[in-house]
Chain A
Amino acid sequence: MIEGFAPGSSIPVSGAAEAVAPVVATAGGVTEPIGVWFAIVVIGVATYGIRLSFIHLFGRIDEVPTRIKRPLRYVPPAVLAALVLPDLLTLRPSIAATLVDERLIAGVAAGAVAWRTENVFATITVGMVVLWLFRFVVFA
């Protein structure tokens, strides 16, 4: 299963390289095709290396030490929540202004669907429909 993931991990690499390339091109003021391709290759190799090194290093040890394993268990909920919540609400001067936000309402609805169904597609669908309902109908 991990071997199946390794080629897959090269996909975000190309995405990251493309995202950075225009910045490199505009930084010099002129378009530098060779510089851009150089940046794409370097960033691609570096990103791939970061991913591969972990697979390689964890493959070398028989068992991950408890001291490392314990915090690793909390990485997914902590990181995902830190990614999601700032996209759902913005702190505003009053509690009402902070909570009455179509993004937060849609996020809570999507969370309920995710909890009951554990279905990614249903979660996205309900989240978008609730977002549009409140943005274009209720709060319009």
Chain B
Amino acid sequence: MGAPLWIVWQVGTVVGVVVGTGVPDAWGLTFAIPLVFIALLVPAMKDRPTVAAGVAGGVVAVLATGLPLNLGMLAGATAGIGVGVLTEVFDA
């Protein structure tokens, strides 16, 4: 069952190793990573509490970007979950 997944993964890794260094940094190919997360994030925000969780998580993560050990991301995630639960409780 995992064979196609494994093959695509290995082929992708080899292509990345061989071709990756030839792509200029200015193209910003790493921007594809947040784009994939956007494709997952948008359908995850489907009602008021989930939208509130996303907005709070993103805003807190941006404000806390400077924190060491990437703690800003954890702070944002925690704040987002808290705001989501609070929104659900107050809406009920």
Query: Are A and B part of the same complex?
Result: yes
Q: List A residues at the B interface (Cβ < 8 Å).
A: 4, 7-8, 11, 70-71, 73-91, 103, 106-107, 110-111, 114-115, 118-120, 123-124, 127-128, 131-132, 135-136
Inter-chain contact A85/B42, CB cutoff 8 Å: no
Query: How many Å lie between the Cα of A120 and that of B42 in the bound state?
Result: 11
Main secondary structure of the interface of A (DSSP, over half): helix
Separation in Å of the B5 CB from the closest CB of chain A?
A: 6
Inter-chain contact B5/A78, CB cutoff 8 Å: no
Q: Number of B residues whose C-beta is below 8 Å from A?
A: 52
Chain A residue at minimum C-beta to C-beta distance from B65: A86
Number of A-B contacts (CB under 8 A): 157
Contact flag A127-B53 (CB < 8 Å), given A82-B80, A86-B73, A135-B26 = no
Looking at the complex, which one of B32, B34, B85 makes contact with A84 (CB distance below 8 Å)?
A: B34
Some 28 contacts from A to B, beta carbons below 8 A apart, are: A71-B84, A74-B49, A74-B53, A74-B80, A75-B81, A76-B44, A77-B50, A77-B54, A78-B80, A78-B84, A80-B44, A80-B54, A81-B76, A82-B73, A82-B80, A83-B37, A87-B33, A87-B34, A103-B31, A111-B41, A111-B42, A114-B41, A114-B42, A120-B40, A123-B35, A127-B35, A127-B38, A132-B27
